[in-house]
Amino acid sequence: MDLSPEWVVGFVDGEGCFHVSLHAHPEMTAGYQVIPEFVVVQHIRDVQVLYALKRFFRCGVVRCNHEDRWAFRVRKLDGLTQICAFFEQHHLKTKKLTDFQKFRSILRLMSQKRHLAREGLVEIGEIALSMNTTNRPVLEKIVRSLRPG
């Protein structure tokens, strides 16, 4: 299955997700690890489309997400950099564009190592909170705990 760039943009406008979470990690200076990820979830009947996306972007993994739901997932920084380069060239048409722009700004802060200090981590957490997020209460609690005062 060959995918065209425009098809990929349309499909990601519908089904893609730019997501950033914070996870407790005692070895990190500020106590938390930032995990940005790009995910597309499909029913197992369409797992071939997920493998086609993996070939298209030349990164990521295809794994079972939950029961009959499978996911194409990119977490590695070099893969995410490629994903960003693609969507900078091929613009999303839905409001997912805003999530993508916030996601990209978080990756930039990370490339400046800002996530290694508490202040940068708060900044990243606040951007993540303004995006579509699956686990808002947990993220809110972490960001609150990191804020000075």
Which spans of this chain sit near a second copy (rule: CB under 8 A)?
Answer: 1, 3-15, 42-43, 45-46, 49, 52, 93-95
* Least distance in angstroms from the C-beta of 51 to a second copy: 12
Measured in whole angstroms, the distance separating CA 77 from the mean position of its chain's CA atoms is 10
Decide whether 15 or 126 has the Cβ nearer to a second copy: 15
Alpha helices in 58-117 (DSSP H): 77-89, 96-111
Decide whether 3 or 127 has the Cβ nearer to a second copy: 3
Please name every residue paired with 16 in a beta bridge, in sequence order, or none if there are none: 40
* Least distance in angstroms from the C-beta of 53 to a second copy: 10
| Residue listed under structure tokens 């893969």 | 79
Could you tell me which residues come within 8 angstroms of residue 88 by beta carbon, excluding any fewer than 6 positions away? 104
CA dist., res. 140 & res. 138, Å (int): 5
* Least distance in angstroms from the C-beta of 8 to a second copy: 6
Decide whether 13 or 140 has the Cβ nearer to a second copy: 13
Decide whether 94 or 145 has the Cβ nearer to a second copy: 94
CA dist., res. 49 & res. 71, Å (int): 10
* Least distance in angstroms from the C-beta of 42 to a second copy: 7
